[in-house]
Structure 1
Protein backbone atom coordinates (compact mmCIF):
# COMPACT_ATOMS: atom_id res chain seq x y z
CA UNK A 1 0.00 0.00 0.00
CA UNK A 2 1.32 3.44 -0.93
CA UNK A 3 2.19 5.56 2.11
CA UNK A 4 1.02 9.11 2.66
CA UNK A 5 3.33 11.70 1.11
CA UNK A 6 5.68 13.47 3.49
CA UNK A 7 5.63 17.22 2.88
CA UNK A 8 8.75 19.27 3.52
CA UNK A 9 8.63 22.29 5.79
CA UNK A 10 9.22 24.60 2.83
CA UNK A 11 6.37 23.02 0.85
CA UNK A 12 4.04 23.46 3.82
CA UNK A 13 5.01 27.12 4.21
CA UNK A 14 4.64 27.75 0.49
CA UNK A 15 1.11 26.33 0.48
CA UNK A 16 0.26 28.31 3.62
CA UNK A 17 1.45 31.52 1.94
CA UNK A 18 -0.76 30.79 -1.07
CA UNK A 19 -3.79 30.19 1.17
CA UNK A 20 -3.11 33.48 2.93
CA UNK A 21 -3.41 35.32 -0.38
CA UNK A 22 -7.18 34.83 -0.13
CA UNK A 23 -7.73 34.66 3.64
CA UNK A 24 -6.55 36.46 6.75
CA UNK A 25 -4.92 35.05 9.87
CA UNK A 26 -8.26 34.68 11.67
CA UNK A 27 -9.90 32.53 9.00
CA UNK A 28 -6.72 30.60 8.23
CA UNK A 29 -6.45 27.27 10.04
CA UNK A 30 -4.14 24.29 10.19
CA UNK A 31 -7.09 22.13 9.16
CA UNK A 32 -7.59 24.14 5.95
CA UNK A 33 -3.88 23.92 5.23
CA UNK A 34 -3.91 20.16 5.76
CA UNK A 35 -6.88 19.82 3.39
CA UNK A 36 -5.04 21.83 0.71
CA UNK A 37 -2.06 19.50 1.07
CA UNK A 38 -4.21 16.38 1.08
CA UNK A 39 -3.06 15.30 4.51
CA UNK A 40 -4.28 15.51 8.10
CA UNK A 41 -3.56 18.16 10.72
CA UNK A 42 -1.55 15.83 12.91
CA UNK A 43 1.14 15.48 10.25
CA UNK A 44 1.59 19.27 10.20
CA UNK A 45 1.93 19.46 13.96
CA UNK A 46 5.13 17.45 13.59
CA UNK A 47 6.59 20.56 11.92
CA UNK A 48 4.86 23.30 13.96
CA UNK A 49 3.49 23.19 17.47
CA UNK A 50 0.53 25.50 16.77
CA UNK A 51 -1.02 27.93 14.30
CA UNK A 52 0.89 30.93 15.65
CA UNK A 53 4.25 29.21 15.19
CA UNK A 54 3.24 28.31 11.65
CA UNK A 55 2.23 31.89 10.83
CA UNK A 56 5.50 33.23 12.23
CA UNK A 57 7.37 30.80 10.00
CA UNK A 58 5.42 31.97 6.94
CA UNK A 59 6.36 35.58 7.73
CA UNK A 60 9.98 34.61 8.26
CA UNK A 61 10.05 32.80 4.93
CA UNK A 62 9.00 36.08 3.30
CA UNK A 63 11.84 37.88 5.08
CA UNK A 64 14.29 35.30 3.75
CA UNK A 65 12.95 35.78 0.24
CA UNK A 66 13.32 39.55 0.58
CA UNK A 67 16.98 39.25 1.56
CA UNK A 68 17.83 36.57 -1.00
CA UNK A 69 20.54 37.87 -3.31
CA UNK A 70 20.84 41.12 -1.38
CA UNK A 71 24.14 42.99 -1.75
CA UNK A 72 24.58 46.01 0.53
CA UNK A 73 24.98 49.26 -1.41
CA UNK A 74 27.51 51.90 -0.41
CA UNK A 75 26.39 54.22 2.36
CA UNK A 76 24.52 53.44 5.56
CA UNK A 77 21.38 55.35 4.55
CA UNK A 78 21.35 53.59 1.21
CA UNK A 79 21.62 50.23 2.97
CA UNK A 80 18.69 50.94 5.27
CA UNK A 81 16.60 52.31 2.42
CA UNK A 82 17.38 49.31 0.20
CA UNK A 83 16.45 46.89 2.99
CA UNK A 84 13.18 48.68 3.68
CA UNK A 85 12.24 48.67 -0.01
CA UNK A 86 13.06 44.98 -0.41
CA UNK A 87 10.80 44.17 2.55
CA UNK A 88 8.06 46.37 1.14
CA UNK A 89 8.24 44.62 -2.23
CA UNK A 90 8.29 41.12 -0.73
CA UNK A 91 5.35 41.71 1.59
CA UNK A 92 3.51 43.63 -1.12
CA UNK A 93 3.11 40.29 -2.89
CA UNK A 94 1.71 38.76 0.32
CA UNK A 95 -0.29 41.50 2.10
CA UNK A 96 -1.95 39.10 4.54
CA UNK A 97 1.48 37.82 5.57
CA UNK A 98 2.60 41.43 6.13
CA UNK A 99 -0.21 41.88 8.64
CA UNK A 100 0.89 38.67 10.36
CA UNK A 101 4.50 39.91 10.52
CA UNK A 102 3.34 43.17 12.08
CA UNK A 103 1.31 41.28 14.67
CA UNK A 104 3.44 38.27 15.57
CA UNK A 105 6.96 39.20 14.49
CA UNK A 106 9.45 36.50 13.61
CA UNK A 107 12.52 34.94 15.15
CA UNK A 108 13.78 32.72 12.37
CA UNK A 109 16.71 33.00 9.95
CA UNK A 110 14.98 35.61 7.80
CA UNK A 111 14.47 37.82 10.81
CA UNK A 112 18.10 37.45 11.80
CA UNK A 113 19.23 38.44 8.29
CA UNK A 114 17.21 41.66 8.48
CA UNK A 115 18.33 42.42 12.02
CA UNK A 116 21.98 41.91 11.10
CA UNK A 117 21.77 44.21 8.08
CA UNK A 118 20.00 47.01 9.97
CA UNK A 119 22.49 46.82 12.84
CA UNK A 120 25.46 46.71 10.46
CA UNK A 121 24.16 49.76 8.60
CA UNK A 122 23.64 51.70 11.83
CA UNK A 123 27.17 50.85 12.98
CA UNK A 124 28.49 52.07 9.65
CA UNK A 125 26.73 55.39 10.22
CA UNK A 126 29.14 56.33 13.01
CA UNK A 127 26.57 56.27 15.80
CA UNK A 128 28.00 55.31 19.21
CA UNK A 129 27.35 51.64 20.02
CA UNK A 130 25.27 52.56 23.07
CA UNK A 131 22.75 54.40 20.86
CA UNK A 132 22.37 51.74 18.19
CA UNK A 133 19.90 49.36 19.93
CA UNK A 134 17.36 52.15 20.48
CA UNK A 135 17.81 53.46 16.94
CA UNK A 136 17.45 49.93 15.58
CA UNK A 137 14.20 49.48 17.47
CA UNK A 138 12.72 52.68 16.05
CA UNK A 139 13.75 51.86 12.49
CA UNK A 140 12.18 48.40 12.68
CA UNK A 141 8.96 49.69 14.26
CA UNK A 142 8.66 52.36 11.55
CA UNK A 143 9.26 49.97 8.64
CA UNK A 144 6.98 47.28 10.10
CA UNK A 145 4.18 49.78 10.72
CA UNK A 146 4.42 51.25 7.22
CA UNK A 147 4.42 47.84 5.53
CA UNK A 148 1.61 46.44 7.70
CA UNK A 149 -0.48 49.57 7.10
CA UNK A 150 0.03 49.35 3.36
CA UNK A 151 -0.80 45.66 3.45
CA UNK A 152 -4.18 46.48 4.95
CA UNK A 153 -5.07 48.35 1.77
CA UNK A 154 -3.48 45.76 -0.50
CA UNK A 155 -5.52 42.96 1.05
CA UNK A 156 -8.85 44.57 0.14
CA UNK A 157 -10.96 43.10 -2.62
CA UNK A 158 -11.53 45.49 -5.56
CA UNK A 159 -15.17 46.05 -4.60
CA UNK A 160 -14.19 46.74 -0.99
CA UNK A 161 -11.58 49.25 -2.12
CA UNK A 162 -14.06 51.07 -4.39
CA UNK A 163 -16.63 51.16 -1.60
CA UNK A 164 -14.04 52.71 0.71
CA UNK A 165 -13.07 55.28 -1.92
CA UNK A 166 -16.69 56.28 -2.38
CA UNK A 167 -17.14 56.68 1.38
CA UNK A 168 -13.99 58.80 1.46
CA UNK A 169 -15.31 61.09 -1.28
CA UNK A 170 -18.63 61.51 0.49
CA UNK A 171 -16.97 62.18 3.86
CA UNK A 172 -14.47 64.72 2.50
CA UNK A 173 -16.25 66.49 -0.34
CA UNK A 174 -19.54 66.53 1.52
CA UNK A 175 -18.14 67.90 4.78
CA UNK A 176 -20.10 70.79 6.32
CA UNK A 177 -17.83 73.87 6.00
CA UNK A 178 -19.26 75.42 9.15
CA UNK A 179 -18.43 72.38 11.28
CA UNK A 180 -15.29 71.26 9.39
CA UNK A 181 -13.79 74.47 7.92
CA UNK A 182 -10.24 73.12 7.47
CA UNK A 183 -11.45 69.86 5.91
CA UNK A 184 -13.68 71.77 3.51
CA UNK A 185 -10.84 74.10 2.59
CA UNK A 186 -8.46 71.25 1.67
CA UNK A 187 -11.09 68.75 0.49
CA UNK A 188 -9.98 68.61 -3.15
CA UNK A 189 -6.31 68.18 -2.21
CA UNK A 190 -6.72 65.53 0.52
CA UNK A 191 -5.81 62.11 -0.84
CA UNK A 192 -7.09 58.70 0.34
CA UNK A 193 -4.75 56.45 2.30
CA UNK A 194 -4.47 54.00 -0.57
CA UNK A 195 -3.11 56.56 -3.03
CA UNK A 196 0.59 57.23 -3.77
CA UNK A 197 1.82 55.10 -0.90
CA UNK A 198 5.23 54.43 -2.46
CA UNK A 199 6.12 58.14 -2.45
CA UNK A 200 4.91 58.49 1.14
CA UNK A 201 6.92 55.40 2.14
CA UNK A 202 10.09 56.85 0.60
CA UNK A 203 9.62 60.26 2.19
CA UNK A 204 8.91 58.91 5.67
CA UNK A 205 11.95 56.61 5.59
CA UNK A 206 14.17 59.43 4.30
CA UNK A 207 12.94 61.81 7.00
CA UNK A 208 13.65 59.27 9.74
CA UNK A 209 17.15 58.58 8.43
CA UNK A 210 17.80 62.33 8.31
CA UNK A 211 16.94 62.49 12.01
CA UNK A 212 19.44 59.71 12.72
CA UNK A 213 22.08 61.55 10.72
CA UNK A 214 21.64 64.63 12.91
CA UNK A 215 22.45 62.54 15.98
CA UNK A 216 25.76 61.24 14.59
CA UNK A 217 28.71 62.86 16.40
Structure 2
Protein backbone atom coordinates (compact mmCIF):
# COMPACT_ATOMS: atom_id res chain seq x y z
CA UNK A 1 0.00 0.00 0.00
CA UNK A 2 1.03 3.62 -0.39
CA UNK A 3 0.03 6.98 1.07
CA UNK A 4 -3.22 7.30 -0.89
CA UNK A 5 -5.85 6.94 1.80
CA UNK A 6 -8.90 9.07 1.11
CA UNK A 7 -10.81 11.26 3.59
CA UNK A 8 -13.29 9.59 5.93
CA UNK A 9 -16.25 11.17 4.16
CA UNK A 10 -15.29 9.46 0.89
CA UNK A 11 -14.42 6.02 2.27
CA UNK A 12 -17.78 4.27 2.18
CA UNK A 13 -18.24 1.84 -0.68
CA UNK A 14 -21.90 1.97 -1.67
CA UNK A 15 -21.97 -1.24 -3.67
CA UNK A 16 -21.09 -4.70 -2.32
CA UNK A 17 -17.99 -6.48 -3.60
CA UNK A 18 -18.20 -9.50 -5.89
CA UNK A 19 -18.72 -11.62 -2.77
CA UNK A 20 -21.54 -9.42 -1.52
CA UNK A 21 -19.44 -7.69 1.13
CA UNK A 22 -19.83 -3.99 1.87
CA UNK A 23 -16.33 -2.79 2.68
CA UNK A 24 -15.55 -1.06 5.95
CA UNK A 25 -12.48 -0.72 8.13
CA UNK A 26 -13.89 -3.33 10.52
CA UNK A 27 -14.57 -5.85 7.74
CA UNK A 28 -11.05 -5.43 6.38
CA UNK A 29 -9.47 -5.84 9.82
CA UNK A 30 -11.49 -8.98 10.56
CA UNK A 31 -10.54 -10.43 7.18
CA UNK A 32 -6.88 -9.60 7.81
CA UNK A 33 -7.05 -11.38 11.18
CA UNK A 34 -8.52 -14.45 9.54
CA UNK A 35 -5.97 -14.53 6.73
CA UNK A 36 -3.01 -14.03 9.07
CA UNK A 37 -4.35 -16.81 11.29
CA UNK A 38 -4.54 -19.16 8.33
CA UNK A 39 -1.42 -18.21 6.41
CA UNK A 40 0.85 -16.18 8.71
CA UNK A 41 2.44 -12.79 8.13
CA UNK A 42 2.72 -13.30 4.37
CA UNK A 43 -1.06 -13.03 4.10
CA UNK A 44 -1.02 -9.35 5.02
CA UNK A 45 -0.84 -8.02 1.46
CA UNK A 46 -3.16 -5.89 -0.62
CA UNK A 47 -3.48 -8.62 -3.23
CA UNK A 48 -4.50 -11.34 -0.78
CA UNK A 49 -6.88 -9.08 1.11
CA UNK A 50 -8.48 -7.89 -2.10
CA UNK A 51 -8.95 -11.47 -3.29
CA UNK A 52 -10.44 -12.55 0.05
CA UNK A 53 -12.84 -9.61 0.04
CA UNK A 54 -13.73 -9.90 -3.64
CA UNK A 55 -12.60 -6.31 -4.15
CA UNK A 56 -10.04 -4.53 -6.26
CA UNK A 57 -6.92 -4.13 -4.08
CA UNK A 58 -6.92 -0.40 -4.75
CA UNK A 59 -10.20 -0.11 -2.81
CA UNK A 60 -8.27 -0.81 0.41
CA UNK A 61 -6.47 2.51 0.02
CA UNK A 62 -9.73 4.16 0.99
CA UNK A 63 -9.25 2.82 4.51
CA UNK A 64 -5.53 2.39 5.21
CA UNK A 65 -2.38 4.28 4.24
CA UNK A 66 -0.23 1.17 4.13
CA UNK A 67 0.03 -2.42 5.29
CA UNK A 68 1.64 -1.09 8.46
CA UNK A 69 -1.40 1.13 9.03
CA UNK A 70 -3.56 -1.98 8.66
CA UNK A 71 -1.31 -3.90 11.06
CA UNK A 72 -1.82 -1.19 13.69
CA UNK A 73 -5.57 -1.51 13.20
CA UNK A 74 -5.27 -5.29 13.70
CA UNK A 75 -3.28 -4.71 16.89
CA UNK A 76 -5.91 -2.26 18.12
CA UNK A 77 -8.66 -4.77 17.35
CA UNK A 78 -7.01 -7.33 19.61
CA UNK A 79 -6.78 -4.75 22.39
CA UNK A 80 -10.44 -3.88 21.87
CA UNK A 81 -11.52 -7.51 22.06
CA UNK A 82 -9.73 -7.82 25.38
CA UNK A 83 -11.89 -5.03 26.80
CA UNK A 84 -15.25 -6.28 25.53
CA UNK A 85 -17.58 -6.77 28.49
CA UNK A 86 -15.01 -5.66 31.06
CA UNK A 87 -16.13 -3.27 33.78
CA UNK A 88 -13.97 -2.02 36.66
CA UNK A 89 -15.04 -3.12 40.13
CA UNK A 90 -13.02 -0.59 42.12
CA UNK A 91 -10.73 -3.27 43.56
CA UNK A 92 -7.46 -2.35 41.91
CA UNK A 93 -5.69 -5.72 42.10
CA UNK A 94 -8.66 -7.63 40.77
CA UNK A 95 -9.23 -5.10 38.00
CA UNK A 96 -5.61 -5.18 36.85
CA UNK A 97 -5.52 -8.97 37.04
CA UNK A 98 -8.65 -9.23 34.93
CA UNK A 99 -7.35 -6.81 32.31
CA UNK A 100 -3.98 -8.51 32.11
CA UNK A 101 -5.50 -11.95 31.66
CA UNK A 102 -7.93 -10.61 29.09
CA UNK A 103 -5.16 -9.03 27.02
CA UNK A 104 -3.13 -12.23 27.18
CA UNK A 105 -6.13 -14.35 26.16
CA UNK A 106 -7.05 -12.02 23.30
CA UNK A 107 -3.60 -12.38 21.77
CA UNK A 108 -3.55 -16.14 22.38
CA UNK A 109 -6.74 -16.44 20.37
CA UNK A 110 -4.83 -15.04 17.36
CA UNK A 111 -1.21 -16.15 17.84
CA UNK A 112 -0.03 -15.40 14.31
CA UNK A 113 -1.35 -11.84 14.54
CA UNK A 114 -0.01 -11.47 18.07
CA UNK A 115 3.55 -12.11 16.91
CA UNK A 116 3.16 -9.25 14.44
CA UNK A 117 1.30 -6.86 16.69
CA UNK A 118 2.11 -7.36 20.37
CA UNK A 119 5.10 -5.02 20.27
CA UNK A 120 3.34 -2.17 18.44
CA UNK A 121 1.92 1.06 19.87
CA UNK A 122 -1.21 1.90 17.89
CA UNK A 123 -2.39 5.25 19.26
CA UNK A 124 -5.89 4.16 18.21
CA UNK A 125 -9.13 4.26 20.16
CA UNK A 126 -9.02 0.83 21.80
CA UNK A 127 -5.45 1.25 22.98
CA UNK A 128 -6.21 4.75 24.25
CA UNK A 129 -9.15 3.46 26.28
CA UNK A 130 -6.98 0.70 27.74
CA UNK A 131 -4.22 3.14 28.72
CA UNK A 132 -6.76 5.44 30.35
CA UNK A 133 -8.37 2.55 32.23
CA UNK A 134 -5.11 1.16 33.62
CA UNK A 135 -3.80 4.56 34.67
CA UNK A 136 -7.15 5.29 36.30
CA UNK A 137 -7.07 2.04 38.27
CA UNK A 138 -3.60 2.78 39.61
CA UNK A 139 -4.30 6.44 40.44
CA UNK A 140 -7.54 5.52 42.19
CA UNK A 141 -5.65 2.94 44.25
CA UNK A 142 -3.53 5.73 45.71
CA UNK A 143 -0.24 5.33 43.88
CA UNK A 144 1.56 8.63 43.23
CA UNK A 145 1.80 9.52 39.55
CA UNK A 146 5.49 8.59 39.08
CA UNK A 147 4.72 5.13 40.51
CA UNK A 148 1.57 4.93 38.40
CA UNK A 149 3.60 5.36 35.23
CA UNK A 150 6.29 2.88 36.24
CA UNK A 151 3.79 0.22 37.29
CA UNK A 152 1.72 0.82 34.15
CA UNK A 153 4.85 0.35 32.04
CA UNK A 154 5.81 -2.88 33.80
CA UNK A 155 2.25 -4.23 33.74
CA UNK A 156 1.69 -3.62 30.02
CA UNK A 157 5.13 -4.81 28.94
CA UNK A 158 4.77 -7.97 30.99
CA UNK A 159 1.36 -8.79 29.52
CA UNK A 160 2.47 -8.16 25.94
CA UNK A 161 5.80 -9.93 26.33
CA UNK A 162 4.10 -13.08 27.59
CA UNK A 163 1.46 -12.72 24.88
CA UNK A 164 4.16 -12.65 22.20
CA UNK A 165 6.15 -15.50 23.78
CA UNK A 166 3.16 -17.77 24.28
CA UNK A 167 1.80 -16.90 20.84
CA UNK A 168 5.08 -17.90 19.24
CA UNK A 169 4.75 -21.28 20.95
CA UNK A 170 1.14 -21.70 19.82
CA UNK A 171 2.11 -20.79 16.26
CA UNK A 172 4.61 -23.65 16.08
CA UNK A 173 3.57 -26.81 14.25
CA UNK A 174 2.03 -29.30 16.64
CA UNK A 175 4.98 -31.66 16.28
CA UNK A 176 7.43 -28.93 17.24
CA UNK A 177 5.33 -27.94 20.26
CA UNK A 178 5.25 -31.54 21.45
CA UNK A 179 8.99 -31.99 20.88
CA UNK A 180 9.82 -28.87 22.90
CA UNK A 181 7.74 -30.08 25.84
CA UNK A 182 9.22 -33.55 25.70
CA UNK A 183 12.67 -32.07 26.28
CA UNK A 184 11.70 -31.54 29.92
CA UNK A 185 11.05 -35.25 30.32
CA UNK A 186 13.51 -36.84 27.94
CA UNK A 187 16.46 -34.56 28.61
CA UNK A 188 16.06 -32.81 31.94
CA UNK A 189 14.19 -35.69 33.55
CA UNK A 190 17.14 -38.04 32.93
CA UNK A 191 20.08 -35.87 33.98
CA UNK A 192 22.49 -37.25 36.54
CA UNK A 193 21.52 -36.11 40.03
CA UNK A 194 25.15 -35.91 41.11
CA UNK A 195 25.95 -33.39 38.39
CA UNK A 196 22.62 -31.55 38.29
CA UNK A 197 21.09 -32.07 41.75
CA UNK A 198 18.65 -29.15 41.55
CA UNK A 199 17.27 -30.13 38.16
CA UNK A 200 16.95 -33.74 39.28
CA UNK A 201 15.09 -32.71 42.43
CA UNK A 202 12.53 -30.67 40.51
CA UNK A 203 12.37 -32.47 37.15
CA UNK A 204 8.85 -33.80 37.64
CA UNK A 205 7.54 -30.41 38.66
CA UNK A 206 9.32 -28.76 35.75
CA UNK A 207 7.86 -31.20 33.23
CA UNK A 208 4.38 -30.43 34.54
CA UNK A 209 4.66 -26.68 34.97
CA UNK A 210 6.43 -25.93 31.69
CA UNK A 211 3.35 -27.10 29.78
CA UNK A 212 1.56 -24.02 31.10
CA UNK A 213 1.97 -20.30 30.51
CA UNK A 214 4.03 -18.58 33.18
CA UNK A 215 1.99 -15.41 32.82
CA UNK A 216 -0.68 -15.86 35.53
CA UNK A 217 1.96 -16.45 38.22
CA UNK A 218 4.22 -13.69 36.90
CA UNK A 219 1.24 -11.33 36.99
CA UNK A 220 0.61 -12.16 40.65
CA UNK A 221 4.26 -11.48 41.44
CA UNK A 222 3.99 -8.07 39.76
CA UNK A 223 0.79 -7.25 41.64
CA UNK A 224 2.43 -8.30 44.93
CA UNK A 225 5.37 -6.03 44.21
CA UNK A 226 3.08 -3.16 43.25
CA UNK A 227 1.00 -3.55 46.39
CA UNK A 228 4.14 -3.39 48.52
CA UNK A 229 4.85 0.03 46.98
CA UNK A 230 1.52 1.55 47.95
CA UNK A 231 1.88 4.50 50.32
CA UNK A 232 1.49 3.17 53.84
CA UNK A 233 1.99 -0.47 52.85
CA UNK A 234 5.13 -0.86 54.99
CA UNK A 235 3.40 0.59 58.07
CA UNK A 236 0.36 -1.64 57.57
CA UNK A 237 2.62 -4.70 57.53
CA UNK A 238 4.26 -3.88 60.85
TM interval, shorter chain, is: 0.7 to 0.9
Q: Tell me which of the two structures has the higher relative contact order, counting C-alpha pairs closer than 8 angstroms and 6 or more residues apart.
A: 1
Quickly say closer, same or farther: Cα 1:170–1:186, change in 2 above 3 A. same
Q: Deviations over 1:178-199 (max 9, x none)?
A: 65443344333323775122xx
Q: Deviations over 1:157-190 (max 9, x none)?
A: 3223223233443332344556544334433332
Number of the residue aligned with 1:86: 102
Q: How does 1:30-69 map to 2 (within 5 A)?
A: 30-69=46-85
RMSD: 2.3
Q: Return 174-183 or 104-113, whichever deviates more.
A: 174-183
**Aligned pair partner of 1:203 in 217, 220, 223:** 217
Q: Return 173-182 or 142-151, whichever deviates more.
A: 173-182
Q: Deviations over 1:11-60 (max 9, x none)?
A: 10010011121233255323222221122332212311222221111110
Q: Deviations over 1:47-77 (max 9, x none)?
A: 1122222111111012112212221123111
Q: Return 153-162 or 179-188, whichever deviates more.
A: 179-188
TM-score normalised to the size of structure 1? 0.86
Instruction: Tell me how many residue pairs correspond in the alignment.
Output: 213
> For the residues of structure 2 that align with 1:182 and 1:31, how far apart are their CA atoms?
54
**Aligned pair partner of 1:76 in 92, 102, 110:** 92
Quickly say closer, same or farther: Cα 1:186–1:115, change in 2 above 3 A. same
> For the residues of structure 2 that align with 1:27 and 1:164, how far apart are their CA atoms?
27
> For the residues of structure 2 that align with 1:193 and 1:36, how far apart are their CA atoms?
41
Indicate whether 1:108 and 2:124 are aligned: yes
Number of the residue aligned with 1:121: 137
> For the residues of structure 2 that align with 1:160 and 1:43, how far apart are their CA atoms?
39
> For the residues of structure 1 that align with 2:142 and 2:136, how far apart are their CA atoms?
11
